[in-house]
Structure formats: C-alpha cells, structure tokens
C-alpha cells in the first residue's frame, strides 16, 4: 500500500463528510448525507450472485461462506419509506435505544429519534473509542415501528430450525461495529454503502475490542499479510449480504447508511 495512503484516507473522510457540511440531496439518496469514505471501495473478495436458487444457496453458502445476493426481493416501497424526511415525520418523536460500538460491553442510551438524526448522526471521529460512539442498530420497538417493518420483504432463503428477527439501523459515515460473531443472518443496505470484513470461525481476527472499525482499518489492516486479510466487500443499496453461523465480521459505513438485518436464530 502506498506511503501516505491512510492520512489521505482520513482527509477524504473529513473533506467530503465533515460535520456541518450540508447533506446531499441528489436523486436516490433519500435525503441522507452522501460522500464519505471511498478508499479501496472496489476491492471485493466476496462473491456476488444474481438469480441464486435455494438449492445453490444451501449447497454452496449457507454453512460455509458469505455471499452477496442481488435481485432476490423488491424493497422499493420500504426504501421510499426510509427517506430522511419520511422517517422523521413518522418516528421523529419516538424514543430509540442506542448502543456503544464496541465488541464486548454495550452501554445503552435512550433519546428521541429526531435528536439522534439531527445531533448525533455525523461522521465518525477517528480518535474516538468504541465506548464513546453511539450507534442506532437493533433494540427496535417492534410495536412502534411495525408500520415500517411490515413493508420490508426479507430474503426468501430460510434455514431449518430458525426464525427471522429484524434489526434496523442508521449510522454516519466512518461508523461501524468492530469484530464480533453470532448466528447466521442477512444484512441489506437501503441507503448508502456499507463495507464488510469477514473471517471464518477458526480464524480469530487481530483487533482491540474497544477500538472502532475505522481505527482497525487505519492501524491494523495495512500491516496484514495478504493471507491474513479478511474477506471484504462494499455492499451497496439494494444488495443483501449473507453471513454464516459464527463468522467474525466488522462493518464500516462509507456514507450515512440505512440498513436492516435479518438474524436467523
């Protein structure tokens, strides 16, 4: 990797997505802030599949490796309802629960959704630790948010003995969840771009549990030998990433991103 890459990487973050910079209103962004991290976005080592059958999914991916699925569902209605304007109109006064973005312990903070969007939904400070970073993902009040979730069409491929559970989130550029693992599931990007880093269960990644994904990308990733690098790819709006059981994964939002996961528990 070229000398000086990472200072440039951070410059890109703060130049294009600095706090106080007006959010883009380009067509298709839903009114959410665009422009953020672009570095190495095109590097992808996760397979993309269009028109995958259930049999192919079970045989090649369900229990063995991640895959990015395209064209399996149409969530255009759900996407329209997730614009900044519509979500604030429908849920601005609703109290949401935020979690800290660290691996092993989670502080919870409750505040109105509008306050989160207007005051906390800004680009990640590269010097912040995970326990200083509040992140809206999961902990959804399903009764209150049911009018939104009923319009979501989840990926059609289930696993025997599991039931789906949704986790909805919105987060700023440069934010993300550091390495962790749990059961299998899907994650769909509704707006923005989300970069994923994945290791199989037998290959524990090198990371500090209280450092952010952005800090890991800056401090640890550049020194990894090619054989020690994770599988990685940027998931874009309308794409769904599937991750198998117990796979380590970390995420990094390249823009302000709206996303929903379907956990198979």
Over the chain (265 residues), what is each successive 10-residue block's mean pLDDT?
A: 42 40 52 66 90 96 97 95 97 92 81 94 88 83 87 95 92 93 97 97 94 94 95 96 98 95 93
Token pair recorded at residue 50: 């269009």
Cβ atoms of residues 124 and 212 within 8 Å = yes
CA–CA gap between residue 92 and residue 89 (Å, rounded) = 6
pLDDT at 107: 80
Distance of alpha carbon 45 from alpha carbon 28, whole angstroms: 27
- Angle between the N-to-C axes of helices 142-149 and 84-91, in degrees from 0 to 180, rounded to the nearest 10: 140
Q: Mind giving me the DSSP string for 87-115?
A: HHHHHTTSEEEEEES-SS---EEEEEHHH
CA torsion angle 60 64 100 211 (round to 10): -120
Burial of 64 (0-12, 13-18, 19+ CB in 10 A): exposed
Predicted TM-score (pTM) of this structure: 0.88
224-105-117 Cα angle (round to 5): 90
């Amino acid at each position: 990797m070229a000398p000086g890459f990472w200072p440039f990487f951070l410059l890109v973050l703060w130049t294009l997505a600095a706090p106080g910079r007006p959010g883009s209103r380009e067509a298709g962004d839903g009114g959410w802030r665009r422009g953020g991290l672009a570095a190495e976005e095109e590097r992808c080592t996760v397979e993309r599949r269009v028109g995958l059958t259930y049999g192919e999914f079970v045989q090649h991916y369900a229990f063995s490796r991640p895959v990015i699925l395209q064209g399996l569902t149409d969530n255009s209605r759900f996407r329209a309802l997730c614009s900044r304007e519509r979500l604030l109109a429908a849920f601005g006064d609703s109290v949401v629960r935020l979690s800290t973005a660290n691996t092993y312990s989670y502080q919870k903070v409750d505040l109105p959704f509008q306050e989160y969007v207007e005051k906390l939904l800004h680009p990640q400070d590269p010097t912040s630790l995970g326990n200083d970073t509040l992140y809206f993902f999961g902990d959804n009040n399903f009764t209150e948010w049911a009018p939104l979730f009923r319009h979501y069409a989840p990926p059609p491929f289930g696993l025997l003995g599991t039931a789906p559970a949704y986790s909805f989130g919105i987060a700023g550029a440069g934010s993300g969840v550091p390495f962790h693992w749990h059961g299998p599931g899907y994650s769909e990007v509704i707006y923005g771009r989300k970069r994923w880093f994945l290791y199989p269960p037998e290959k524990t990644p090198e990371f500090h549990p209280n450092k952010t994904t952005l800090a890991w990308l800056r401090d640890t990733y550049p020194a990894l030998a090619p054989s020690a690098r994770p599988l990685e790819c940027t998931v874009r709006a309308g794409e769904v990433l599937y991750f198998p059981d117990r796979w380590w994964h970390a995420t990094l939002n390249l823009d302000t991103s709206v996303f929903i996961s379907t956990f198979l528990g």
